[in-house]
């Protein structure tokens, strides 16, 4: 029932995001400035639906977190302050829906002790740090060069490894993920952060296929932004639309993954699958 | 000798004397490497030291005046002795002394009978550490130099700040160097001169959302205490803490700063 609220809340944040765009230089400013006009009907409908509705607490929290995310974009582009980007990543993982799905992933993900877990583009690698602590996995955090060069990102990653007592290291990769990632070396691979979502579903599939060992496990926390509202809102971070869960499951089976399990909660879904 | 790329004129608030500051590329580099993006330039005169803070763009970011602890003794340094009880419970460090040339102060414990001592000098600061056990030259050297670096850029006139940094180092000696180790030592060495300012909406969001790292891997009670301590100095927050807690608390403060939840302001 509350699922629709998430999309309406996301739609209503778009005018705020557009308004904030005027205060800083976003690389796709012109295109995004037109989003408000293009989605006028979606926004009006969302407004009508929410006008007399009482929002569940988890949806209000999600709105507050995403609103902060918009401010974090401004801080990054206008002030070069990446601290807020890190913080936004962290608080987004604490929203009710993401927290629920991460717990689910945590409970179903089975990789043997001493395994190598590849975490892709997480500036706050909470999930891999927890898995690393639980089963003694070695964590390899692959970070795009543009992220790995930011001092605060390096410090936060080191902080997660230290505070969770994880055997972890950073692997710098270029923008062409598929080419730069290690081949068939990972027992598990995780995509579950804003910056990992930016690379898109097709790249996730090809990176997972190439990097996982046979019987390696793919774990994803993904945005359900195949629906409007969230689709355009996440476009402010350059996140492309992700497929509907059943489409994602079919694609995974076609890519020779088995035991595909999907759990949807609010505006996100989680995927676990094993490479044959 | 470097050419000044900017010249600042500053008046000492204590005695009204005027000082000319030459901002050189070295000064800017030092500010750039500092966690707060500031560096301090010291001008000892009379019975006090004027410290002028300069940011990474060469702009003046405030001044501070320190009284010397006491009139200089031998070799121009005022001596301050740290009671042995201060270092009780430390596993690795048996004693230390540091000469802070820019403040004209020599702080340290009574000479100890330890087998291993290391000494290093940087700028106007000299630091010697006595170790209770052999922890390996490379390890000791690396941490000693890091602490020396922190002391050399500190303008705290609070003796406790230096002692606390030594206490934290006692724990760090058992760790591998990490990305922000220098910042921990710097924060402790400057604790009484750094004030905490909350930033909104980050502080409110952290209180409401309670990110896992802060409440699973740091002392959540201390994190909340920091969020209620806007305007307090780091030194006040760390007051009375045991060495283990001191280190972890300094890390927690830096973690909050790293997310933009607080600002650390030199006052």
The interface predicted TM-score (ipTM) is 0.92
Q: Range with the lowest mean pLDDT among A171-185, A224-238, B79-93, B213-227?
A: A171-185
Residue A249 C-beta-side C-alpha neighbours within 13 Å: 12
Q: Residue-wise over A24-38: b if at least 16 C-beta within 10 A, else e? A: eebeeeeebeebbee
**For chain B, domain boundaries:** 6-67, 74-179, 192-266
Of A61, A83, A160, the CB nearest to B213: A160
Residue of chain B nearest A62, judged by CA positions: B209
Provide the pLDDT for residue B192: 92
* Same-domain status, A125 and A257: yes
For B187-216, what is the mean pLDDT?
95
> How far apart are the C-alpha atoms of A47 and A35, rounded to whole Å?
16
Among candidates A276, A271, A273, A196, which has minimal Cα distance to A240?
A196
CB–CB of B213 and A159 under 8 A? yes
Measure in Å the smallest separation between the Cα of A152 and chain B Cα atoms: 7
What token pair was written down for B239?
A: 């007051």
* Same-domain status, A112 and A82: no
Report yes or no: A242 at the B interface, CB cutoff 8 Å: no
Residue pair A58/A97 in contact (Cβ under 8 Å)? The answer is yes
Provide the pLDDT for residue A128: 95
* Same-domain status, A256 and A123: yes
Provide the pLDDT for residue B114: 66
pLDDT in tens, A60-82: 999 999 999 999 999 999 988 99
What token pair was written down for A58?
A: 């988890």
Phi and psi at residue B194, in whole multiples of 5°? -115, 125
pLDDT at B81 over 70: yes
pLDDT at B10 over 60: yes
* Long-range contacts, A257-260 (Cβ 8 Å, 24+): A257/A218
Q: Which chain A residues contact residue B198 at CB under 8 A?
A: none
Evaluate whether residue A146 is within a structural domain.
yes
* Same-domain status, A136 and A161: yes
DSSP annotation of A242: P
Report yes or no: B247 at the A interface, CB cutoff 8 Å: no
Provide the pLDDT for residue A84: 96
pLDDT at B72 over 50: no
Of B183, B217, B260, the CB nearest to A87: B260
Report yes or no: B205 at the A interface, CB cutoff 8 Å: yes
Name which of A58, A79, A90, A151 to mutate to probe chain B: the one with the most chain B Cβ atoms within 10 A of its Cβ. A90
The full 3-state SS of chain B, as one line of letters, equals: CCCCCEEEEEECCCCCCEEEEEECHHHHHHHHHCCCCEEEEEEEECCEEEEEEEECCCCEEEEEEEECCCCCCHHHCEEEECCHHHHCCCCCEEEEEEEECCCCEEEECCCCCCCEEEEEEECCEEEEEEECCCCCHHHHHHHHHHHHHHHHCCCCCCHHHHHHHHHHHHHHCCCCCCCCHHHHHHHHHCHHHEEEEECCCHHHHHHHHCCHHHHHHCCHHHHHHHHCCCCCEHHHHHCCCCHHHHHHHHHHHHHHHHCCCEEEEEC
Report yes or no: B84 at the A interface, CB cutoff 8 Å: no
Provide the pLDDT for residue B71: 46
Name which of A78, A162, A167 to mutate to probe chain B: the one with the most chain B Cβ atoms within 10 A of its Cβ. A162
* Same-domain status, A27 and A79: yes
pLDDT in tens, B41-50: 777 677 677 7
Evaluate whether residue A98 is within a structural domain.
no
Q: What is the CATH number of the domain that holds A209?
A: 3.40.50.150
Report yes or no: B210 at the A interface, CB cutoff 8 Å: yes
CB–CB of B259 and A154 under 8 A? no
3-state secondary structure of A219: strand
Report yes or no: A149 at the B interface, CB cutoff 8 Å: no
* Same-domain status, A256 and A136: yes
Label residue A15 exposed, middle or buried (CB < 10 Å: 0-12, 13-18, 19+): middle
Provide the pLDDT for residue B67: 63
> How far apart are the C-alpha atoms of B189 and B175, rounded to whole Å?
19
Evaluate whether residue A118 is within a structural domain.
yes
> How far apart are the C-alpha atoms of B240 and B160, rounded to whole Å?
10
Provide the pLDDT for residue B12: 85
> How far apart are the C-alpha atoms of B142 and A220, rounded to whole Å?
41
* Same-domain status, A215 and A248: yes
* Same-domain status, A143 and A172: yes
Query: Please, which residues 74-113 of chain A have a Cβ atom closer than 8 Å to chain B?
Result: 75, 81, 83-84, 86-87, 90-91, 93-94
> How far apart are the C-alpha atoms of A128 and A147, rounded to whole Å?
18
Q: Residue-wise over A45-62: b if at least 16 C-beta within 10 A, else e? A: ebeeebeeeebeebbebb
* Same-domain status, A68 and A123: no
Give the pLDDT band (50/70/90) at residue B75: low
Evaluate whether residue A47 is within a structural domain.
yes
pLDDT at B211 over 90: yes
Q: Between the CA of residue B47 and those of A44, B9, B50, B103, B104, what are the distances in Å?
A: 70, 21, 10, 10, 10
Q: Residue-wise over B110-144: b if at least 16 C-beta within 10 A, else e? A: eebeeebebeeeeeebbbbbbbbeebeeebbebbb
Q: Residue-wise over A123-136: b if at least 16 C-beta within 10 A, else e? A: bbbbbbbbbbbebe
Q: Which residues of chain A have pLDDT under 70?
A: 1, 176-179
* Same-domain status, A69 and A178: no
Query: Which residue, A92, A122, A146, sits at the end of a domain?
Result: A92
Plot region of B116 (φ>0 → left; ψ -120 to 50 → alpha; else → beta): beta
What average pLDDT does the structure give for chain B? 85
* Same-domain status, A120 and A50: no
Of A64, A91, A155, the CB nearest to B258: A155
Evaluate whether residue A101 is within a structural domain.
no
Provide the percentage of residues in chain B whose pLDDT is more than 70. Answer: 92
CB–CB of A159 and B180 under 8 A? yes
What token pair was written down for A38?
A: 């293009």
> How far apart are the C-alpha atoms of A53 and A36, rounded to whole Å?
23
The domain tally of chain A equals 2
Strands A116-120 and A186-191, how do they pair? parallel
For tokens 């490379």, the residue is B138
* Same-domain status, A248 and A170: yes
- Which helix (H) or strand (E) segment holds residue A235: the answer is helix A230-235
Provide the pLDDT for residue A178: 64
CB–CB of A90 and B179 under 8 A? no
Strands A168-173 and A138-144, how do they pair? parallel
Q: Which domain, by its residues, includes A74?
A: 3-92
Provide the pLDDT for residue B53: 81
Q: Which chain B residues contact residue A168 at CB under 8 A?
A: none
What average pLDDT does the structure give for chain A? 92
């Amino acid at each position: 029932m509350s699922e629709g609220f998430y999309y309406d809340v996301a739609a209503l944040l778009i005018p705020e995001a557009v308004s904030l765009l005027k205060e800083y230089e976003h690389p796709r400013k012109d295109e995004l400035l037109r989003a408000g006009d293009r989605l006028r009907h979606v926004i009006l409908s969302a407004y009508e639906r929410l006008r007399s509705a009482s929002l569940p607490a988890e949806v209000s929290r999600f709105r507050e977190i995403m609103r902060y995310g918009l401010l974090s974009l401004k801080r990054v582009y206008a002030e070069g302050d990446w601290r807020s980007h890190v913080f936004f990543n962290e608080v987004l993982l604490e929203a009710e829906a993401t927290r629920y799905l991460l717990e689910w992933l945590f409970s179903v993900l089975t990789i043997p002790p001493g395994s190598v877990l590849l975490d892709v583009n997480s500036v706050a690698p909470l999930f891999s740090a927890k898995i690393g602590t639980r089963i003694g996995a070695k964590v390899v955090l692959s970070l795009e060069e543009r992220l790995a060069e930011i001092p605060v990102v390096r410090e936060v990653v080191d902080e997660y490894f230290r505070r969770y007592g994880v055997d972890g290291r950073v692997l710098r990769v270029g923008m062409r993920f598929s080419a730069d990632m290690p081949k068939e070396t990972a027992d598990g691979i995780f995509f579950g952060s804003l910056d990992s979502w930016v690379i898109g579903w097709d790249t996730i599939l090809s990176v997972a296929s190439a990097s996982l060992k046979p019987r390696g496990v793919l774990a994803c926390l993904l945005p359900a932004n195949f629906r409007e509202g969230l689709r355009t809102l996440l476009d402010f971070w350059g996140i492309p639309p992700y497929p509907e869960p059943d489409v994602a499951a079919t694609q995974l089976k076609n890519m020779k993954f088995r035991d595909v399990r999907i759990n949807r909660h609010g505006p996100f879904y989680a995927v676990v699958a094993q490479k044959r | 000798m470097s050419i000044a790329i900017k010249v600042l004129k500053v008046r000492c608030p204590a005695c009204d004397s005027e000082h000319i500051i030459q901002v050189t590329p070295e000064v800017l580099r030092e500010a750039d490497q500092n966690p707060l993006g500031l560096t301090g330039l010291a001008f000892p005169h009379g019975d006090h030291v004027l410290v002028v803070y300069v940011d990474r763009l060469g702009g003046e970011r405030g001044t501070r005046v320190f009284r010397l602890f006491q009139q200089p003794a031998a070799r121009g340094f005022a001596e301050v002795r740290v009671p042995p009880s201060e270092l009780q419970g430390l596993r690795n460090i048996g004693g230390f002394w540091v000469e802070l040339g820019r403040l004209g102060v020599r702080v340290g414990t009574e000479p100890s009978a330890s087998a291993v001592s290391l000494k290093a000098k940087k700028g106007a600061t000299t630091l010697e550490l006595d170790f209770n056990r052999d922890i390996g030259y490379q390890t000791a050297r690396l941490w000693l130099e890091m602490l020396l670096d922190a002391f050399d850029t500190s303008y705290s006139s609070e003796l406790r700040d230096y002692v606390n940094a030594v206490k934290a180092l006692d724990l760090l000696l058992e760790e591998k160097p990490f990305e922000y180790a220098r910042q921990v030592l710097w924060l402790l060495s400057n604790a009484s001169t750094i004030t905490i300012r909350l930033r909104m909406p980050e502080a409110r969001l952290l209180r409401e959302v309670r990110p896992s790292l802060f409440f699973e891997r740091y002392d959540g009670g201390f994190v909340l205490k920091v969020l209620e301590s806007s305007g307090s100095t780091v030194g006040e927050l760390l007051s009375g803490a045991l060495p283990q807690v001191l280190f972890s608390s300094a890390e927690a403060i830096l973690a909050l700063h790293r997310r933009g939840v607080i600002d650390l302001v030199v006052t």
